[in-house]
Structure 1
């Protein structure tokens, strides 16, 4: 007796299933390759992300807080690398061959917050610019510089007079002390 339409897959149907499987495997490999290339271009390491503060689709994490320093903040990412919590700050439009000092201090502040929150000092933080990722060591010297900067900032905030240290109208317009400054441009 011959095979009927309802007797199971014929040679053409089995070939179609194999072709479909091959197409799906090729598509999966293509997507995986794209993800790997995108991750490489990001300049960030393959690591478990514990927190992130850059996506519009999530509820922001609570900021890290260091009570004894009166400091709080959220790094763009907090990743776990080799058993250490590493803060990552992303400046996507910044292009430079070396990190800006202000960005290094911001990253050091996140390292201090991680140290206070998790009880372990991160060995470094990552600073991502448009074309470069900088691995910034968090050393005792950087920590001391950060604490001195924080103290200096507090002293300036408590000072009665604020002195302008530039002649740049754009910088003046964006200053957080503009309302208190009698030298505002």
Structure 2
């Protein structure tokens, strides 16, 4: 458990690269590589501004506005104001800058576009996630621990993505330390046996 505390402290100290934040934006996987270049710049700017202004990210640009901004790439304030969930304050304070940012990012050479993002797991993978989470809950009960602390959903998704749908699967780097030792093999065995049954 001391590992967990040390990891939390290390994560708090570790600054997230603003130019990697776009990977976690909702629906980013649906965008073309050229549109991802715009999304990357928008997300990086939003991240930097949130830190500089000491405001929540959604006060800079609402999360639901990022995807349509990257997809449609408005070129005037009127079009910017019509973007879904775009707050009028954002248009007033940062509209001109955002239009320039979008224009600049849209003109990035193809060699500098980010790679396409993988699709999320299909809906039928939800059953596998649920089954893996149940394994984590069993171990949590044995240790008299809150199940949510045992396994994170992102870790389970990374495990599934490593070999979905037919395997072989690999434990993600995010499953480390005592958790990996305790239940890593049980998770892999569960996926292997479910693959044999289908």
Q: Specify the TM-score bucket, using the shorter chain as the normaliser.
A: under 0.3
TM-score (norm 1): 0.24
Name the one with the larger helix percent. 2
Bigger relative contact order (CA 8 A; separation at least 6): 2
Name the one with the larger strand percent. 1
Larger Rg: 1
